[in-house]
Structure formats: C-alpha cells, structure tokens
Structure 1
Amino acid sequence: MFSLKRVLIILFILLVSFLIAAFFIKVNKRETLLYKIQQWVTYDAADWENYEKNKQLLASGATEVTTTEVTAAEDDLYPVDTNRISPEFRALEIEKIKKADFGRLVIAKLRPDHEDAQIALIHLTDRKLTDVIINQKINIKVGTCFENPKTVGNYRCVSCMILLYNREKKDWVEAPNGENFLKNAYDFYQASEGDIWQARELSMRIPYDYALVAKYSK
C-alpha cells in the first residue's frame, strides 16, 4: 500500500503539472483548463482543423446580431419522416402533408451554406452548439431551402431542414448526446442584402428532406 508520504508526493507532482499546463496552455473564456488538456490528449489532426475553423467562424460572427420576434412555431410545422412513424399516426401525417400543398413552395436560389447555417445556429443556441461541434464531433448540414414570405421586416427569409453529421462516424445522428436543444428545421434570414445569415424558429411547414438524409448516411 502507498504510504501517506508517497501519496502526498504524487499529489504534489500532479498539482505542479497542472500549474505548468495552466501557464503554457491558452484557454479562452468558453473553455476550462481540464477541457483544454483533454483536447491536447485526444484530438487528432481533423479535430484540430475543425476546432480552428469554428474558432474563426465564432470570431467573424462575434458582433452582436439583431433578433427578430416571431410567433412560436407549432410542432406540426416540423418535417416528419413518414417511414419512421407507427402506422396509426402515418395516415394522419400524410393527410397533413397533403393539406400543406408543398407543390406551392418555391426552392430558394439564395440560401445559407453549411457553415452559414452552423454559425447562425451557434448564435441562436447561445453557443451551446459549440460544445457539440467540438466534443461530439458533429457539424450542421443544411438541405433544400424554400422561400419564406414571412420576412418580418428582413430582406430575405428561407426555411430549411438541417441534420447533425458526425464527422467521425461519417453518418448523421438523431440528436446530440445529453440535452436535445436542436430541432430539425429552422428559418434562416438576412436583415439586409448581403448580410450574414441568422436563424430563428421555423415559421412555415416544409417537407422532410429525404435527399439530405440519404446524402449523409453511410
């Protein structure tokens, strides 16, 4: 068994190592030293590349963005994969889809790309998404977008389905581990022409994007 003296020596060495790490490892305000040490121990080249890219995105979007108030979206606005729901609810969902008349929707020619959507959702979620991107190796992918006339005074608004892509598993995932704070579709808008894309809750029913899911499935 370890003697008390040996235990104290080990604790002292660990404390000194921790203090040395604190001196040499740069930690920003969104991270802890323990998390930073974990990065240095576990990250590979791809993880560091993605980490640096997201730091740049956050820095470029660090200026305060305006928020737009919209009516809370109803749950039935969100796209549903009818192949994955029980038969007793499938008929009801298909009826809702028919009533929605998706044929009238106009595909948006100008829309956010994956990085635009990701940084917009980082801001919308008050940066909670940042931890998911870094720790769970997940990125946002955006699918087909549709013109949304509910601009609420903004220059442009589109509605798009998104998914979470695990860059380690090379496959999409239903939700982040832990708290599921994301939905599968959002409005993305520009306050003025050429402005950055911002995100808000979905305000228009759109179809499920099967092509997006197929593209990012194994």
Structure 2
Amino acid sequence: MKSSQQDFEKNATKKSAVKKIVKIIGVLFLILILGLGIAEYIYRNEKETPLYKIQQHLTYNKEDWANYENNKRILASSPVNSNITDVASAAPESPIDTLIWENTIKNKDYIPDEVLSEINRYKARDFSKLILAENKPTSEEAQNAIITHYKNEVSKLLDEYKAHIQMGTAYNAPLQSQDELVRVTAMVSAFNKERGNLGNIQMPLDVIYDFVQYKSEPNVWYVSDFSQNIPYDYKLNKERW
C-alpha cells in the first residue's frame, strides 16, 4: 500500500515537473515571438530585418549568397548622392508585347481604347535607324548600375526574390552631354532559378533603361531613363511566368 502511495506521489511529481517545463518552454517561445515582432517593428524601414535574415539562411543557396554579397559590395561602394540626372526630353514610350493581344485583335474582342491606342502608336514607330550596340554593359554591369542608382530599394527587391538582372539587346543612343562617352538603350529583366523571368518584379525597377559611360569613368556604367524607342525584346522575354 505504501509502495503504491509512493508511486502515485512520484508520478504526480513527474507530471508537475513536465507541466513546469512545458510552461517554461511556452513562455520562452512567446518571449521569442514577441522579441522578433518588436525587432521587426523597430527595423521595419531597414533593408535587413531579423525575420528577413532568418528567411535568407533558410532559403538561400550558394549562388543566392554570391549575388547578395555582390549587391552589398555595390551598395557600399556607391556614393550617397548620385550626380547622375535623368534625361529631360520628349518621353519615348516603353516597348509593348503586342503578341499577347494578337488573338484578341484577330477575334475582334474588346480591347480598352487606351491599350489599342498604345498598340497602334507602337506599330507606327520607326526602328529602322537603330544600330545594335557593340559597347554595352554585361548583365552583371547592368545590375550593378541599377543597384547604384536605386540603392536599397532594388537591392532588397532582388535579394527577396533571389533574382539577378539580365541584359537584353542594346542599341546605340544619342549622347546627352559632352561628358558622356557611350549611351545605349536596352530592356532588362529580373530572373531567378525557381520562376525564370520575373519581369521588373515591381517598381521602382523598370524594364528599360539607358546605360551610360562617362569620360571621367570610362569603365563604369550608370543607369538613366531611357531616351529612345526600341522594339520589344522577345528574345529576353521569351518565357514569362
């Protein structure tokens, strides 16, 4: 009888200890969640929040980390205030993928007036005088130029999507000042391994830019608003998610 009583007391003690451990773990877990929540709120305007860093370590592969480190290097080496100004002129229009509207047009289905007007303007453009650029940035140089221009806005975007910039067909563009050495216009797109072509993901990243080299820095490419009309790059954008 005494042995049964002792066993009962031991079991009760064990259960009590387990409950205490579970309670302690629960409290610690709540403190952790609360701490992460507070840290996320405090660093909400920063590029790398605690939760973002956790997501990186859980999902990044070797190539993603290499791209991330390159983006950090470009940000660290870029000036705080860029002296590059966007070109102010009669605005050219962004290239249009008319193929996505072909069946709609053939079937005489409804197309919004503004879209139809944009398509007609695009078809009326004269691309015959465009010259393919021989001196142009590589995809890596284009990405570096874009990150230097936008800094954390685009760097964070590329890191979040584990994406890199790919350069399309480039065309010679008229120089905008005596300081310029080379200016080309090209479409760009963001790519990652999981989804392929992501397009521009979201603003401020665009799908078309001018890339400029200056006489003072002939080995560095800078990005600017595109200054001329070019055809839609179907080779670059042959596969869209």
The answer for unaligned runs of 5 or more in structure 2 is 1-18, 37-45, 106-110
> Post-superposition shift, 1:185?
0.7
Do the aligned partners of residues 41 and 157 (structure 1) sit closer, same or farther apart at CA in structure 2, a change above 3 Å counting? same
What is the root-mean-square deviation of aligned Cα atoms in Å?
3.1
The answer for unaligned runs of 5 or more in structure 1 is 19-28
Q: Name the SS of the counterpart of 2:99 in structure 1.
A: helix
User: Separation in 1 of the partners of 2:192 and 2:29?
Assistant: 39
| Superposition pairs of residues 1-218 of structure 1, within 5 angstroms | 6=24, 7-11=26-30, 14=32, 30-61=47-78, 65-71=82-88, 74=91, 77-85=93-101, 86-87=104-105, 92=117, 95-97=120-122, 99-153=124-178, 154-169=180-195, 171-176=196-201, 179-192=202-215, 194-214=218-238
> Post-superposition shift, 1:183?
2.1
Deviations 1:56-102 (A, max 9, x none): 3334445754212421663x521111101352578755653454321
User: Separation in 1 of the partners of 2:90 and 2:149?
Assistant: 15
> Post-superposition shift, 1:168?
2.5
User: Separation in 2 of the partners of 1:151 and 1:134?
Assistant: 33
* Matched letter for residue 98 of structure 2: T
Based on CA coordinates, which of the two structures has the bigger radius of gyration?
A: 2
Give the TM-score, by structure 2 length. Answer: 0.69
Do the aligned partners of residues 73 and 143 (structure 1) sit closer, same or farther apart at CA in structure 2, a change above 3 Å counting? farther
How high is the sequence identity, in percent, across the aligned residues? 32
User: Separation in 1 of the partners of 2:58 and 2:79?
Assistant: 28
Do the aligned partners of residues 8 and 118 (structure 1) sit closer, same or farther apart at CA in structure 2, a change above 3 Å counting? same
Aligned equivalent of 2:43: none
The answer on whether the counterparts of 1:72 and 1:201 sit within 8 Å (CA) in structure 2 is no
Give the TM-score, by structure 1 length. Answer: 0.76
